[in-house]
Every structure is written in C-alpha cells, then in structure tokens.
A and B are shown apart, each in its own frame.
Chain A
Amino acid sequence: MTTIDWLVLFAALVAIVVYGVVKTRGSHNMETYLRGDNTLKWWMIGISIMATQASAITFLSTPGQAIEDGMRFIQFYFGLPLAMIIISAVFVPVYYRLNVLTAYEFLEQRFDLKTRAFTAILFLLLRGLSAGITIFAPSLVLATVLHWRVEVATVLIGLLVMIYSVSGGSKAVSLTQRLQLSIVMGGMLLAGAMAYTMLPENLDFAETIQLAGYLGKLNLINILPADAAQHLPAGVNSVNELSLLQKIDLILEDRFNIWSGMIASVFLFLSYFGTDQSQVGRYLGGRNLTESRLGLMFNGLLKIPMQFVILFIGVLVFVFYLFNQPPVFS
C-alpha cells in the first residue's frame, strides 16, 4: 500500500460515515428513524433495494462463483421479477393501507403482540448473523491487504457502519448505500475492463468468450444438472433414458438450475423482499405507494442484468488468470 492508497481508503471510509451522519442531522421521531422522511423517489428506492441486497459478498464472492462454477448462479435470480410482481400487487398496498413502520407491526395488527415479538426476534437474530458474515467477507480482504488481524478489521468496519446507522436511521442507510453501490460497481467495472485489456493482444473479445465457453463457464441455463451423465442411476445408460422421477431426483440434488430459480427462488425472494425489515424499510420510505411499487419494478428489471455483469466480470478474471499467475496469500 502506497501513501495514496492509504489516503484514498481512509478518506472514503471517513467520507461515507460523515456523509451519512451530516445528511441526516436533525430531530428524529420513530417514524422518520424507521421509515425515513417519505421523500424517496422510485429510482432512489430501486437503487436502495438493490444496494441493500448487494452486500460486499455479492461483489467479492459472485465473481469467484463464476470462476469456480461458471455463470449458472444467475438462475438463482430468475424468480426475483415474479416475486416483485407479487409483492407490488399484494404486500405493498397492505403495508401502506395500514400505515405500518415495520413488517412485524402488520403481524401485531393481524394477530397479536406475541406474534410480532416472535417474528421480530427471529428477524434480528437472522439479520444479525447475516450481517456478521457480510462484514466478515470484506474484513478478510482488508486484513489481507493491510496485514491486519481479521478481528480488528471486522470490528472497525462494524463500528464505522454503526456510527451512521444508529445516528441517522433508515435514511442514512439508504443514502450511504447509494454512494457505496456506485463506488463498488465502478470498481468492479474497472476491474473487469482491466482484466480484459490485460489479456494477450492476439485474443479478441469473441475468442475470450469462446475460451470461457469451452471451459464450461458460460453455463447460464441448466435444465438438467451439467454432470447428470456422471450420476446416472443403475440400469440407465444415458440422460435420454431417465424417467421423469429420476430427472426430478437429479434436479433436487443440484444447487443451481432453472427449476430452483423459477420455483424455489420465488418463495425465497418473497420472504426476503416481502417480510425482511431490511428491505421492507427501503420501499416503505417512498413518497407514496406508486413510488414504492415503481422502485420494486426498477429492481425487477435491473437485478438480473446486474448479476450477469458481475458474473461475467468473474469469467473475464478467470480467462485473465489462464495467462497470468494467480496471487497466493499466506
């Protein structure tokens, strides 16, 4: 790390924290703290929704997923537009009509306080565990680059995020996430461009794609598992001889395929975007019902292409390291 690297790193960290605290100064009541000041337009909501879901793990691990397993991870997101439609049509109007601050307040009105308390505790537990992993991933990178202990990096990142989250509430989180998303996306695109431009000069874009494709990285759609031919049941000689039940068996044992994407992911994204307060709080901060629903449509339109770009950058990095020595950190 040179002096400029240190300056940029710490200036960025300090700027994000200061930005979040300063922009949300002023008195807060519970409503503005949990829901923001209800001024967010649809594109702010959409970006905030995408930024909330796209943690550091998205930008660190997703390219790694493409390097390791190809681009088939994109199938995981095929259920997202369907979930956006259901949430926009069913969930959001109910939240607005009841004027709730949190998704769990709805449960109190629908059932009782015990139900609300139980689900709120579950959310805090699960989101806390998830946040721990989310902070751990960039801490590993930071600790490796700066030669720090990973525990120190984890505590530092957690403390910095807590400063503006606690002081500014929902609005501070929305504002800083937009800033962070633009920085991280810009960095990713730069990394992808660098990986491509540093490839051998006699390798053009089409050949790069062909190389990645023939090495099994452009496996975007799997109707049956790619390795189904290696896991045939006894008495079956080829994939074409499989019965429907045998095919379903193979599909259920496979992690990413079009069926898990179009069926299971719908329910997963319904639960995440429809009931997890980290997402519900984002779109309940909209100016009105229309802005919130448009924000969800925005997310539904852009999320899959965004994941495609991130995975494709991983593929470019994969091809890059076919011609260069990968870094090995102790």
Chain B
Amino acid sequence: MLGPGHTSPADHRPPVFSNWRGWYLLLLVWLAAQLMFYYFLTSLFA
C-alpha cells in the first residue's frame, strides 16, 4: 500500500501523482517546514 504506482484501473493520471511515498514525504517535509517557521515566530517574542 505504501509502494509507488498503486492505482485503480480507472486512473488516467500520470504515475507521478500516484507516487504515494513521494506524497507522504512531501507532507512530512511541509509539516517540518511549518514547525520551524512557527518556532521562529514564537522565539522572536519568547
């Protein structure tokens, strides 16, 4: 289920959209970036 290219038969999108590991990594990286930004904002006035 975590592997790339796990699509259903009716899926006409390019395989890159179904690279679920890539999506999960993107979500984690985006979360980490937000945490760093919010920590920076907090530390300005701590």
Contacts and interface: CB of A to CB of B under 8 A. Distances in A.
Given A213-B44, A213-B45, A290-B17, A221 B35 contact: yes
Contacts of B31: 78, 81-82, 304
A246 B43 CA distance: 23
Contacts of B20: 88-89, 293
Contacts of A216: 45
Interface string B3-45: 0001111110100011010011011101100110011011011
Interface residues of A, number: 33
Contacts of A96: 8
A21 interface: no
A198 B2 CA distance: 50
Given A81-B27, A89-B24, A218 B44 contact: yes
A220 B34 CA distance: 11
Interface of A: 74, 78, 81-82, 84-85, 88-90, 93, 96, 210, 213-214, 216, 218-222, 258, 287-290, 293-294, 297, 300-301, 304-305, 308
* Interface of B, helix, strand, loop or mixed by DSSP: helix
Given A288-B7, A288-B10, A301-B27, 6 more contacts: A84-B27, A210-B45, A213-B41, A213-B44, A214-B45, A219-B42
Contacts of A293: 20, 23
B24 A221 contact: no
Contact of A301 (B6, B9, B30, B44): B30
Contacts, number: 77
Contacts of B1: 89-90, 93
A294 B17 contact: yes
Contact of B23 (A78, A289, A297): A297
Given A90-B1, A288-B11, A220 B30 contact: no
B42 A220 contact: yes
A289 B38 contact: no
Nearest to B45: A213
Given A78-B31, A301-B27, A305-B34, A290 B42 contact: no
A266 to B, nearest CB: 12
Contacts of B30: 81, 301
19 contacts: A81-B27, A81-B28, A84-B27, A85-B24, A85-B28, A89-B20, A89-B24, A210-B45, A218-B45, A220-B39, A258-B35, A290-B8, A290-B11, A290-B13, A290-B17, A294-B17, A297-B26, A305-B34, A308-B34
